[in-house]
Amino acid sequence: MRSTLALLFLASIVAGPLHAQPASPAPAVQRTEFGRTPDGVVVEQFTLTNTRGASARVITYGAIVAELRVPDRDGKLASVVREITASEQGFQRGFAQSGAVFGRVANRIAGARFTLDGQEYKVTRNNGAHHIHGGAKNFSRVVWQAAPSTLPGSASVTLTYVSADGEEGFPGRLTTTVTYALSDANTLRIDYTATTDKPTPINLTNHAYFNLAASSDVLDQELTINADRYTVVDADLIPSGEIKPVAGLPIDFTRPSPIGARGDRLGASRRYDHNFVLNRRAGDTSLLFAARARDPRSGRVLEVWTTEPGVQLYTSPLTAPTPEEKSPRFGFFCLETQHYPDSVNHPAFPSTILRPGQTFRSTTEFRFSAK
């Protein structure tokens, strides 16, 4: 009996406690250096990884989602956004086709001017006679401060940028935070907040360039948008103030349709660049289904949910590859959740004005699955 007890005691020393279980994995955040700007500012990189192996790389330059790896129907991981690597040109001019945050006002402001509380403000002209995406030094071209944050069941990071009073012509000192959280459900959630010391317009969005196949084109990827209407624009893509039905137009995605199916009806650009008015009740700011995209080859599905009233669909030119093309193209589509373009000059549009004592809040979720 004593020898048996001794053997059990020795076994417990080797194997550990009889009821011990292996530690379960947890969402993780890894902090590293991405690169340095030409003037020596360190740009950090935060890699968010969930327990299923999906991951997102977020860099402090532009609050950019530099990579977003999610599985296809066979479990193969690949990045569904354009991957961003450090480069001197990127740091100097901004990283092209990146999942950056644009602000202080994303999209367009007609004539690069607006009137607020009786005072006219002139902002940077960087789109012909107009203003777009926050100006020359917009939020996608500055280095944010960042630190890991704690959200149950998610790997997350919070970034902060303080925009000075008068930056790009906008009034008020604006403090903005963006939190990216990658959950175990393969959802990348983006929470925006902002406060100001003077009345100012604000319209923040992430400009991720998606391709659910992670290569080739997006012509066959199917899209649905929860919008029966859109904002009518002129030749400069400036809203007229009219809101009309999409029915009968090539921009009707109320039912699933391949993105490239109607490219030949989009004029010389052969691309979408349209703001859709989401089917939302007036005054409702809850998280609402905005759009769904599906790639039939990989089985990847993206659903976009947002508290915003609109979404801008922007795509690569929707033309078939030519025999002369030597390398596969990387087509894309963007679903930029937002307030409507030029809202500051259209009182009938949902307001983009933030005032002292208020907190701007906006949430968008990119929900991934595969089947």
Q: Which residues are catalytic?
A: 207, 336
* In contact, 242 and 231? CB cutoff 8 Å: yes
Tell the residue number behind the tokens 């307030």, with chain if given: 339
**77: CB partners within 8 A, 6+ apart:** 53, 54, 55, 69, 70, 71
d(C-alpha 288, C-alpha 281), whole Å: 10
Residue type (1 letter), 76? K
Query: What whole-number distance in Å separates Cα of residue 145 and Cα of residue 352?
Result: 25
User: How many whole angstroms separate alpha carbon 233 and alpha carbon 349?
Assistant: 14
User: Which token pair is 188?
Assistant: 């990348």
Amino acid at 214: A
- State the Cα–Cα distance between residues 201 and 125, nearest whole angstrom: 16
Report how far residue 295's alpha carbon sits from residue 213's, in angstroms, rounded to the nearest whole number: 6
Q: Cβ(53)–Cβ(77) under 8 Å? A: yes
Contacts of 127 (CB under 8 A, 6+ apart): 108, 236
Please give the Cα distance from 286 to 283 (Å, whole number): 9
Residue type, 53: G
Nearest to residue 243, comparing CAs of 290, 310, 337, 304?
310
Q: How far apart are CA 310 and CA 316, in angstroms?
A: 20
- 8-state DSSP, 323: T
Reading the block at residue 108, the tokens are 């367009």
| Residues whose CB falls within 8 Å of the CB of residue 240, separated by 6 or more in sequence, listed in order | 232, 233, 234
